[in-house]
Structure 1
Amino acid sequence: MIPSMNEKEPPIATGVIRVHRRGFGFVSTEEYPQDVFVPKPYINGAVDGDTVDVEINTEAVSEKGPEGKVLAVVRRGRSHVAGTIVELAKRGAAAYAYVPLLGTDSLMKIRPCEERKFQIGDRLVIHVLEWGSQRKESAGEMSQYIGHISDPSLDTIAAVEEYELSDAFPRAVVNEAKVFGEEVSEKDKESREDLRHLETFTIDPETAKDFDDALSLSQDKKGNYHLAIHIADVSHYVRPGSRLDSEARARCNSVYFPGSVLPMLPFELSNNLCSLKPKVDRLSVSVLVNLDEKGSVLNYRIVKSVINSAKRFSYGEAKEVLDGVKKSKHAKTLKLMVELCHRLKEKRYERGSIEFSLPAIQLHVNKKGDPEKVEFVEYDITHQLVEEFMLMANETVATHLAKAEKPLTYRVHAEPTEPNMKEFATLANAYGFNLPEAPSTRELQELFDEARESAVGQFLATSFIKSMRLAIYSTQNIGHYGLGLEYYTHFTSPIRRYIDLVVHRALFDESSPDEDFEEIALQCSERERLSAKAENSVILLKKLRLLDQSQKDDPYRKYDAIITQVKPVGFAFEVEELMIEGFFPVSRLSEDYFVYEDLRLIGTRTEQSYRCGDRIKVAVEALDFITKEAFWTLITSNRKKRRRR
């Protein structure tokens, strides 16, 4: 729909709405470069994924973007939803279900079902009969019984249904993958550059099975580096128009859950023929980059190749070799990679790239789906060198295609909005740092470097990440703000990302003539967002189950937490052991009456305060697996008295 040109009437546009669990939403339209923010009162019955007409208030622009209200739902995004029974036998209904898609404010009425007597906690796939409105409740009937919320083995299955993800592959797709066999044929190796003589190895997580990338590095007598980044040549097997291609495009990416994966490609390809496993010949696309002793690029080539990886390193094993704990014939090359990594990082900082080095976690589950432990993954030098070389490959390919004026899906990242940047600068300055209202990326990096070892270093980095816009795929290049790059794309993970496969084809003019790159970019951006929500949903539920186990072992256990956000209504915090977020409302701070002042909650009588970065202790009060919420009790904190002025 074309926006209204009548200046007396507000413009109207059509797009897909994304609804946050707190009720507000964003509408992506072709007519406006920025998403339209829709406050909760103006959602008008729309749910996540619906196509809507939105009226835009040109005079109301918040920090979230231009504001609007939904006029009508043009088309529903789905006919089935996932839900969990929370109430039984009420007003003639068999039950009422909590449906995450509808938010926490309303329940869906479920019709009686002859084949099943519902219990609280039953997980269902529901066929929607009535979407409801502000005056009318939504209604549906059971389409499929998943199981009970108490069964952790069903967490992933429930997420697959909730987010409409693809699980099993159609038989025709699997059969097409099996045609290629289990080994690379001699014919397939013809007309490729033979790089099997290079010392090549992979470095991946311990649990990885799909190895997209391998590395080679040497140095000549002049001190020049010869870096080779080998990426699995998925495009050789997945051709435009094939069933494999159609399925991969529909999925857009692999989805990773604790203990399992929904691959973009059948395991015959993702875990075998395309995976750069050791001691076997594999087809790859190699980016061969020659750099001087300072890490500046001298020249490069991009070729179709044959490689043979000598070793499959885990990050941990590679780190042990570098630390001298474990011996390896590849130790010298690993150390050379560290050296080049430092050179490249220095250059990246010089051009304005931002790095946070935040900790990550890996959640381990058993075969029954029970969470066993949370392991913190350190972003050590082995992770850094792999990332640095992948950035090099992605930038080289993007620049190569852009200069050749070939069609390309860029990975773009817009600058933060001015209000968000000002708000972050105010926050940083409140903690004693000196940051201008419109800081450069260099000034931001200096801030994070300075704050890294302080009590608020991680908090500031996380706060800035939340203030930034999401990186997306687009045919319109606006550069990559976070990396400080003019040209950037995704090329290094074609086993698990469809965009990378499309970029591989563009390199060698193998794209379909009717390929719609903009449509692919939009679809992959949306699926990436959806997959992340599904992954985070399961991870959060597993964390809650882990908390539940801990409470059963020790009902009086206390957890260390750090306050991450303070608002007039209360403060948010993160339980550090599990990296799980919580919220404590100001109404429950009974020891005093608290007011919001100078980014803090301050007691009017005691002058005790709560502010970002303060460390507190909390205990679990209640857990809700259905809504995926934890409720907390505040035990102690390092509440400080405000300094008198």
Structure 2
Amino acid sequence: MKKDKFKGILHKNPKGFGFVSLLDKKTKDVFISKNDLKDAIDEDIVEIEIISHSAKGPEGKIVKVIKRQRNHFVGVVISKTQENYVLYIPSLGKDKNVVLDAKHKLKIGDKIKVSIKSFKDKNNNVTAIFEMFLAHISDPSKDTFIAIEEYNIRDAFSKEVIDEAKLLKIEDKDLLNREDFTKENIVTIDPDTAKDYDDAISISEEKNKIKLGVHIADVAYFVKPDSNLDIEAEKRGNSTYFPNRSVPMLPKELSSDLCSLKEDEIRLTQSVLMEFDLGGTLLDYKIVRSYIKSKKRFTYKQALKILNSEEEHEYKKELLLMKKLCKLLKKKRFERGSIDFAIDEAKVIVDKNENPLSIEIIQYDITHQMIEEFMLKANETVATHLSKTNKTLIYRIHEEPNIENFQDFYDLAVSLGFHLPLNPTNLDIQKLFIEAKDTQYLQRLSINFIRNLRLAIYSKDNIGHFGLALEYYTHFTSPIRRYSDLIIQRLLFNEKITKNFEDIAKNCSEKERNSFKAESSVNILKKFRLLKSILKKDPKQTFIATVTRVRPFAIVFELDDYYLEGYLHISKIQNDFYEYNEEDLKFIGQRFKNELSFGTKIKVKVLDIDLLFMQIDFKFIKIL
């Protein structure tokens, strides 16, 4: 029987398998196992056959590659023969043998840009053509530059785009037909290094009501449809953030100046004005075009210091009211089944030459929670408002997981003694995290849970948002750095949109995924470099780690102060003979009865850091 064939785009996972997003958009993404990828690579347009269906969704195999979307790659020289250099290209995988003519003067460790002459020559090799020398792997100052090249991040703006941005300004006529909030106590709260202030907050309490204003930079007023600025912003999709710099979606004339809600400057905004009762229920809202003058620019640290201090401050009343409303909104979210994660962030600190200096752990404290809750509520309110007008819009959707996707998390939770039904509801998962709140497992259980969730994406078709337990959700609050938010701003005030919503949603999702890969690649490389510099000073340095996964033949762990993953085959743990207990997901030492399971603290030593293949060789020291 002839099988139906479908066309789609391959999204390859670093672990080897992939998913194909079908061009007809009528079928769920199709899983492709590593053995069924044929010679396809990430972003290829492929033809597939669906070979089976399960609770996880359809599974298929690639029949042929229709079109290569990419032909330019970044690789590193790993060896040299008389005739060729051998390259490792991460996006092609370790199983692809990439060769380059030896006529170029290169050395092992050189990172270069190449195009592909053939993906399979007569010797089964990938043959590359030299295009550009980037840097040697030992040079940290080029890490961001290389990632920008490797992931095709659009960096410099054209003269036409910059000239268009420079012509923009705020004049008296621009304030007409807008509500004037310049007398309001409006503040911004952002990270220390932020320059693109998308959002500002006003808050007050009167007559048993809390009034919250979320004021968002009115980027749509300046960036007109099909202008040079708009075309470039759509191509970028979003801003990309690296340890030493960002690559903005909009030129600095807008992103860091005219659209940034800077202190004591008149700025044009779109304001979501919400009224809540004292229980946190939304009573009424209004969405208007406005202009503001931010009274104070707070960093998260400054706002937290005021909240924790007993001393008086000019804005303490507002900050305390923000804290109060934040807790009410979190309670409301909890009641509807939303799952709250308090996950800290590890930020790599670098010097002007991109040398990594340290890891700063950014606590998910109450000030971060306040701003997050207010942005969530504004996004939900805008999505609900637009949905009621029957307009087509771009939703932020998050599919509900099924038990097969969740099997890892389910097995882990049960092995730790937590009760979880076979088909858990949001409330069941909530209950588990409440039980885990005061245990050593909370942070890493949260991370494991998130890893097992499907990715949130943009779509014109609404299926709700599982993680937030919302029927309607969109992105509106960051139009300086997200193109989806700019589109939503236009929709709110009936501005013309000439583009196809399906195409916009797909492009925004893909650009977001690509930026995440680029950002992660640099962060991991910087952490590798930081470890190398520590070991250079003290080769005997040991590290504390926490076991995060247990597999039949290995343990996976995370270095506690670096948020960096490591791996040890059980044969390398030589202080005992360990047997795997499948039911409890643990190794048990047969001699000393020590256990290695999720959450176990261990001490490890770094034997080697390989920057060519981005691998670290660890030695097990002991269980703590």
Same fold (TM over 0.5): yes
> Equivalents in 1 of 2:155, 2:197: separation in Å?
21
Asked if the contact 1:410–1:488 (Cα under 8 Å) also holds between the matched residues in 2, the reply is yes
Q: Report the Cα offset of residue 34 of structure 1.
A: 2.3
Instruction: Report deviation, 1:424.
Output: 2.4
CA positional deviation for 1:197: 1.5
* Alignment partner of 1:9 out of 2, 15, 22: 2
CA distance in 2, matches of 1:33, 1:328: 56
CA contact 2:186–2:200 (8 Å) conserved in 1 = yes
Question: Secondary structure of 1:522's partner?
Answer: helix
- One-letter amino acid matched to 1:17: L
CA distance in 2 between counterparts of 1:62 and 1:481 reads 18
Question: Aligned partner of 1:469: which letter?
Answer: R
What is the 5 A alignment of 1:5-404?
A: 8-29=1-22, 30-59=24-53, 61=54, 63=56, 65-90=57-82, 92-93=83-84, 95-113=85-103, 116-132=104-120, 136-181=124-169, 184-220=170-206, 222-324=207-309, 327-404=312-389
Query: What CA distance in whole angstroms lies between the structure 1 residues aligned with 2:13 and 2:403?
Result: 23
Residue type of the alignment partner of 2:141: S
Report the CA distance shift for 1:441/1:151 in structure 2 as closer, same or farther (over 3 A). same
- For residues 622 and 591 of structure 2, what CA distance do their matches in structure 1 show? 18
Corresponding residue of 1:3:
none
- Indicate the larger mover: 202-211 or 453-462: 453-462
Identity of matched residues, %: 43
1: CA distance between counterparts of 2:49 and 2:591? 47
User: Equivalents in 1 of 2:201, 2:447: separation in Å?
Assistant: 31
Q: Contact between 2:383 and 2:472, CA under 8 Å: does it hold in 1?
A: yes
* CA-CA distance at 1:26 after TM superposition: 1.2
User: Any conservation in 2 of the 1:567–1:596 contact (CA below 8 Å)?
Assistant: no
1:181-224: CA deviation from partner (whole Å, max 9, x where unpaired): 4xx2111111111111111000000000000000000111x220
Q: CA deviation at 1:120?
A: 0.7
Structure 1's 62 and 294: CA in aligned 2 closer, same or farther, altered over 3 A? closer
Deviations 1:115-136 (Å, cap 9, x if unpaired)?
x510111111102111127961
Task: Report the Cα offset of residue 143 of structure 1.
Answer: 0.6
Deviations 1:12-68 (A, max 9, x none): 211111112232111111355322111111111111111111111125x375x4221
- The worse-fitting range, judged by mean Cα deviation, of 444-453 and 145-154 is 444-453
Structure 1 position 448, deviation (Å): 1.0
Alignment match, 1:642: none
1:449 is displaced (CA, Å) by 2.0
Paired with 1:246 and 1:263, the residues of 2 have a C-alpha distance of: 14
1:562 equivalenced with 2:556 (yes/no)? no
Structure 2 counterpart of 1:28, which letter? S
Structure 1 residue 294 displacement after superposition: 1.3
Kindly provide the amino acid, as one letter, of the partner of residue 396 in structure 1. T
Contact 1:563-1:573 at 8 Å conserved across structures: yes
| 3-state SS of paired residue (1:26) | strand
Distance verdict in 2 for CA 1:67–1:44, change over 3 Å = same
State whether residues 572 and 620 of structure 2, in contact with CA within 8 Å, keep that contact through their aligned partners in structure 1: no
Q: Deviation of residue 107 (structure 1)?
A: 3.0
Q: What is the 5 A alignment of 1:575-590?
A: 575-590=559-574
Determine the C-alpha separation between the residues in 2 that align with 1:147 and 1:286: 47
Does the CA-based 8 Å contact 2:121-2:127 persist in structure 1? no
| Pair 1:482-2:467 in alignment | yes
Instruction: Give the Cα–Cα distance (whole angstroms) in 1 for the partners of residues 303 and 608 of structure 2.
Output: 42
For 1:25 and 1:606, locate their aligned partners in 2 and report how far apart those are by CA, in whole Å: 42
TM-score by length of 1: 0.94
Q: Could you report, residue by residue, the CA deviation over 1:67-119 in whole angstroms, capped at 9, with x for unpaired residues? A: 211111100011211111111234x11x1111011111223101234xx5101
Q: Report the Cα offset of residue 325 of structure 1.
A: 6.5
Q: 1:597 to 1:134 in 2, by over 3 A?
A: farther
Q: Pick closer, same or farther for the CA change 1:244–1:326 going to 2, 3 Å.
A: farther
Alpha-carbon separation, structure 2, partners of 1:31 and 1:478 = 14
Q: Determine helix, strand or coil for the equivalent of 2:481.
A: coil
Could you say what the CA RMSD is over the residues aligned between the two structures, in angstroms?
1.6
Secondary structure at the aligned position of 1:317 is classed as helix
Would you say the 8 A contact 1:21–1:104 is kept in 2?
no
The letter for the 1-side match of 2:66 is V
Contact conserved, 1:22 with 1:103, CA < 8 A, in 2? no
What residue in structure 2 maps to residue 424 of structure 1? 409
For residue 501 of structure 1, report the CA deviation from its aligned partner: 0.2
**2:620 matched to 1:630?**
no
The separation in 2 between residues aligned to 1:66 and 1:135, in whole angstroms, is 34
Aligned counterparts of 2:605 and 2:122: Cα–Cα separation in 1: 37
Deviation, structure 1 residue 445: 1.5
Which amino acid in 2 is paired with 1:110? L
Give yes or no for contact 2:607–2:617 (8 Å, CA) kept in 1: yes
Q: What is the letter of the counterpart of residue 570 of structure 2?
A: V
| Cα separation, 2, equivalents of 1:384 and 1:593 | 43
TM-score by length of 2: 0.97
Higher mean C-alpha deviation, range 98-107 or range 300-309: 98-107
Q: What is the rounded CA distance, in whole Å, between the counterparts of 1:422 and 1:22 in structure 2?
A: 18
Q: What one-letter code is carried by the residue in structure 1 that aligns with 2:529?
A: R
Query: Which ranges of structure 2 fall in alignment gaps of 5 or more residues?
Result: none
Aligned length: 621
* Equivalent AA in structure 2 for residue 163 of structure 1: Y
In structure 2, distance between residues paired with 1:502 and 1:399 = 16
Q: Tell me the residue number matched to 2:517.
A: 533
Q: For residues 626 and 528 of structure 1, what CA distance do their matches in structure 2 show?
A: 26
For the 8 Å contact 2:326–2:370, the answer to whether it is kept is yes
Aligned partners of 1:75, 1:596: CA distance in 2, in Å? 47
In structure 2, the residue matched to 1:494 is 479
SS in 2 for 1:100: coil
Confirm or deny: 8 A CA contact 1:88 1:118 kept in the other structure: no
Q: Tell me the equivalent position of 2:596.
A: 610
Counterpart Cα distance in 1 of 2:562 and 2:592 = 32
Q: How far has the Cα of 1:295 moved from its partner?
A: 1.4
Q: Summarize deviations over 1:513-567 as a string: whole Å, max 9, x none.
A: x321111001110111111000000000000000001101111111111111111
How far 1:435 sits from its partner (Å)?
1.5
CA distance in 1, matches of 2:137, 2:562: 21
Asked whether the equivalents of residues 577 and 589 of structure 2 are also in contact (C-alpha less than 8 Å), the reply is yes
Contact 1:505 1:511 in 2 (8 A): yes
Q: Which runs of 5+ in 1 are unaligned?
A: 1-7, 639-645
SS in structure 2 of the partner of residue 105 of structure 1 = coil
- Match of 1:420, SS state, is coil
Q: Which amino acid aligns with 2:280?
A: G
Distance 2:93 2:131 in 1: 21
> Residues 10, 325 of structure 1: CA spacing in aligned structure 2 closer, same or farther, 3 A cutoff?
farther
**Relative to structure 2, which stretch is displaced further, 495-504 or 103-112?**
103-112
Give the AA of the match of 1:44: K
